Amino acid sequence: MRALLLATLLSMPAQAATPAEIDYAVQGILAREGVRFVTYEVDETGRVHLLSGHNEPAWRIEKAVEALQSHPDIAELVWTPLDTEFCPIR
């Protein structure tokens, strides 16, 4: 019985995260990394578009991008640094 249950669970396809779950993951990572001068959007396909302001240190953005790319729910990340300054996210 246990073997049948295990085989059934392993044969089920992995569920992709919803855009809301991805949004929650992005918020958590940005907060944990201390990133404040960014804006982002999660589109209907789950792709994350991240724009970083000029007033955010490059090392902090790089650290956050690495964390976002390594998160299992985030399949695709588009990151664009801008020359303009952003107001802090709240």
For the chain, what percentages of helix, strand and coil (3-state, to nearest 5) are there? 40, 15, 40
Q: Is residue 80 part of a domain?
A: yes
Nearest to 18 by CA among 45, 49, 48: 45
pLDDT for 63 equals 97
Q: Is residue 75 part of a domain?
A: yes
Tens digits of residue pLDDT in 56-72: 999 999 999 999 999 99
Tens digits of residue pLDDT in 2-59: 665 445 545 444 567 999 999 999 999 999 999 999 999 999 999 999 999 999 999 9
Q: Is residue 32 part of a domain?
A: no
| Structural domain boundaries, residue 72 | 37-90
**22 contacts 74 by C-beta, under 8 angstroms:** yes
Q: Is residue 18 part of a domain?
A: no
Q: What is the pTM of this model?
A: 0.78
**Domain total in the chain:** 1
